[in-house]
Chains A and B, each alone.
Chain A
């Protein structure tokens, strides 16, 4: 599937209720200015028809930004739908974006051989939590533990969420940008 087709298909799974209202308003607008449609100078702001945001800029993959509450539903749909079949999670990375933390999932389909990137951001960085996807891809169990270990993102429903590399009594999350360790870190 091409990226455009993927975007249309995946976007249609999570329609934006807001977009529906606005498009109705638009229709009214157009009917009012029916005689001279070109004269209407105010073009309404393009409203995303989906709750997901798609972008292909600055990346070789199609990127989806998903709201955290829809993450699990989106992921299970991506894996189980016959047209997408993203059954291979080849990279799961945690990222510190400053204001919030995030996780990036790189997915590939072994039947269709197309790839996609799903990005999700937590709400704030005090108590970040996301839904676990270990029940969709078994490899996520280890990768999510790694992210928990280094970024402190808690994964709901994870079967064994504890530190993977560091000891249980380790203070802080080393891969966060604001982590300080005066003894072990060399600051150039």
Chain B
């Protein structure tokens, strides 16, 4: 806003509106932002949503619980496995099923690998958004290794559908452990490379530092979660506070930064790469023997009641709220998506900044549009 006051008073400025999206490359999907700007200064950001809304919540009211799992892949497609896990956990808790330790450990390993893959993609496009094209290829190169591991074990690379209520679709591939270990050794040398290439870059630092500041109070009030909230010093890792699957058996640090600017959110995600890697490392040699699935009835009917399950996806807190009346489909199913709440604070942190900074700020929010347009 400083710039504004230096403008010669004899020139009259007038705010006007422009569209950013729905086909803007930096929105990574079909998000349309209606910007009210005065010169280059943003006065208001109003998201216009719904371009790819499929009303998954309504579809769920007619589907069986096994079918619902498949729909969750299509929301936050970069955290598809963690989304699947959330629904499975909710159903299993409602049925009071005892899940074998093997399933829990495999779910956690796959979940953390998903998080690494998601952060790799984010890191790649984050660099691209601020003008560093190389990062895109580096990020995708490493993500490719994880996708190959998934392909072998889950049969798919993006929408895995590997979790089912009661366990896993099938057991892990014989190569799984070997290839994950190869990836760990490979990726440990790559994170320092990421830092050398982008984090320490002066131009990058100048674009990120002090831009898009979000205070801790605002982060909580806006319902922020995941790296966005942790960049503002708000400790909210669901894996710490409400551990699920095998996460209570591992030790890891919650990545926290207090600056609240774009760089803090960036650094939190880089730190999370290390932490996820360490979780996978702790579990990969200790996958217990046992069943990979417990039998459930062909038609799952949940008891009457309400069930809430939250998990930590790569974007933040994902919640599944099931209201069951005892039939084979839920009476109402609500997905609490992290991207939706994180998007709601974009206007708050972008106002007063430059239009060019909006792209960088939005990149650090790591929005996935199908997650918002459920």
Contacts and interface: CB of A to CB of B under 8 A. Distances in A.
A58 B57 CA distance: 21
A51 interface: no
Contacts of B341: 139, 142-143
Interface string B207-236: 000000000001011110100000000101
B317 A90 contact: yes
Given A142-B344, A165-B53, A188-B62, A95 B323 contact: yes
B321 A106 contact: yes
A96 interface: yes
B307 interface: yes
B179 interface: no
B50 A166 contact: yes
Contacts of B304: 58
Contacts of A96: 332
Contacts of B234: 110
Q: Chain A contact residues (Cβ within 8 angstroms of B): what range?
A: 20 to 34
Q: Secondary structure at chain A's binding surface: helix, strand, loop or mixed?
A: loop
Contact of B343 (A60, A93, A142, A185): A142
A131 interface: no
Contacts of A137: 221, 223
A164 B332 contact: no
A142 B341 CA distance: 8
B55 interface: yes
B220 A88 contact: yes
A165 B241 CA distance: 32
B299 to A, nearest CB: 14
A174 interface: yes
B204 to A, nearest CB: 30
Contacts of A59: 305-308
Interface residues of B, number: 37
A142 B340 contact: yes
B336 A141 contact: no
B210 to A, nearest CB: 22
A90 B223 contact: yes
Contact of B218 (A93, A110, A138): A138
Interface in A171-188: 174-175, 185, 188
A104 B222 CA distance: 17
B139 interface: no
Contacts of B336: 90-91, 106
24 contacts: A58-B305, A88-B236, A90-B223, A90-B317, A90-B319, A90-B336, A91-B334, A91-B336, A93-B332, A93-B334, A106-B321, A110-B234, A137-B221, A138-B344, A139-B221, A139-B344, A142-B343, A143-B223, A143-B341, A165-B49, A165-B373, A166-B53, A175-B55, A175-B57
Given A87-B220, A138-B221, 6 more contacts: A63-B306, A88-B220, A138-B222, A138-B348, A143-B341, A165-B53
Interface of B: 49-50, 53, 55, 57-58, 62, 218, 220-223, 225, 234, 236, 241, 303-308, 310, 317, 319, 321, 323, 332, 334, 336, 340-341, 343-345, 348, 373
